[in-house]
Structure 1
């Protein structure tokens, strides 16, 4: 008998599911292989992935300045070659020199300090301070391989996916009644999977709740650049707490940022950071110990995290091209979000809240009872049943809302806004045609 089997493996492994790369995506990959081996076997010729926030896999181009600096840091011997100035911008060359001077051995293949390279943390702290208007300490920065926390509560769909304090109090009371002592609250803002941007007053309510209940506020802010409506602005939770008069001794806040989202989309580089504030030295020591177990995060990701928080400035050679690339990506994302939002709201039985930010929409779909019963017969959830049908008929990959948690009796799916702009019309037309057919098939 094999030493490891489904009978002996940890049962938590068997129960673990990751919706954005779950059953629907596995099926999509199989269909993609089928299209390669048997062209014309399906009523579509390509898979349109709308399941995961992975911009460059769908054609988004990296920011030139960032990649120039990375290339020079990875191959420093070309810094002094005369032809380099014809290939790379002068500010990218200078930034690479500055960064290499801070790396042990001037080598991106070397381990760094477990918190991350000090000079890069200095740059990130300066960027945070410039963004928020409050001091930031580089010693509070821990550079990480990306940022992936989770969410423990329901949002209020009727109020544009706001985080109602009444819901937090309900979850808090429910946990306490079960003998559970909550230690932290995770808030994703702008939101995933819902795409909302929290109002500043809502954020203040959340900060007050965490202060009152003694909770650590874990602020996932990786979509901070992705805000598409003028009436909403991104405010970091640390900034909100400080503006309310709460200092480090009053509330513990851990803020997360990543190079995977925003306009940069450098998912494969696995760069990010957390800013840890409001903890005593004994807890900081434990956090550092855990960081040390993994030695350090990858150096390319560390460099990118510093560049994201300290991009070219007005007057730098790369500033105009950098600004044009950044604005082009964000304005395109805004158009794509609006187009998809409008398309969803035109579908029978589908409602979609405003696309305020992040990279996702989370439409609610009211499925016919006949479809719900067909899903039960197929031993799956109704939203998964719909998404499976959509994939098989159109090649579009959505993620069922049940993979994220949704209010009992409601059904949703998550759709990214990331397919390139020239692909969005195909998403809309294929979805619209399928939805009409689906609703007719299962109409009572």
Structure 2
């Protein structure tokens, strides 16, 4: 059967900054999923979109076409409402780990379909796989059963959800089109809408360690995604949050699980606790629980109880010792003063080079690798004081990690000690 469109005509239209018709968009996504549109042709179209953008209606149709490329999950049989969170990715961003069980405490089911890390940003599944026995792969029936029983699940998205996005995501990563606002928005929202959640809170990162370096572009991305979710019938809210410096005091896999458990035990770094509670409040309000007090549930052990059930339900041992790196090296402060800068991107790259991340999707990761921070921006430090500890199973990686950190640290002799704001803005539909 003849195809209704010519791929070259679709590429040319976007190359020349024309608006793609609904029919063109529907066809190109379907044809790419079927293999009719070649990888090099979709590469050209992705670059044309990167350079010339898309109108709101185009992004909405593109997102819808990607949803229709696969199956949709249905949580309507659950006895509780559903709410989910998506982060655009950062350094030290382990928030999903304490957040999912915390929200579940209040009778809201959290279907957290998560991914793996690529480049300098960590992946939630890589972190949890540091727990002995924990399994990331669940069937749809197992997801539903765990949501009904435990209230929270963190697992890999099934291959049936938005398969067009899966193909396109891998292509964007190898063609330098990852940072395209229409492609980011449609990628995230096609998966989240297909996932079937009733409400969604977006954590849109801003700063050196995020895809969006500037507040204005991050706000535009947030507004686009909130509109896509709202139009699809999903109650959607976005928080713009700071990613100029890493979240918490750990970057890596087992290191971040350890810190998450500290938060669930009522401790942990103040910035991780603050953001976890802020996102929990938004998720609970979106699911109709405006009066819930998530901060109290972290302090009194209720969130920890759900965490232990959630880990055990997926084959993990919540009491097992987490793996520890055989090799560590310290990075010392070179002067007295106030630590005014600790660049999130540089720390993320160092962690990646130590073995915590991957350059290609098929690369293995080390559970033990990463960076432990001993000071955060705004704190006074002394020359010779430990600023960071590098962790790895392969000590030959230390030199390249140190190279990544060459410009990461800024110490000013008379800098001001200060608290930084984590939540920068809020966008609602």
Shared fold (TM-score greater than 0.5)? no
Q: Flag the structure with higher strand content.
A: 2
- Higher relative contact order by CA 8 Å / sep ≥ 6: 1 or 2? 1
When Rg is computed on C-alpha atoms for both structures, the one with the higher figure is: 1
Q: Flag the structure with higher helix content.
A: 1
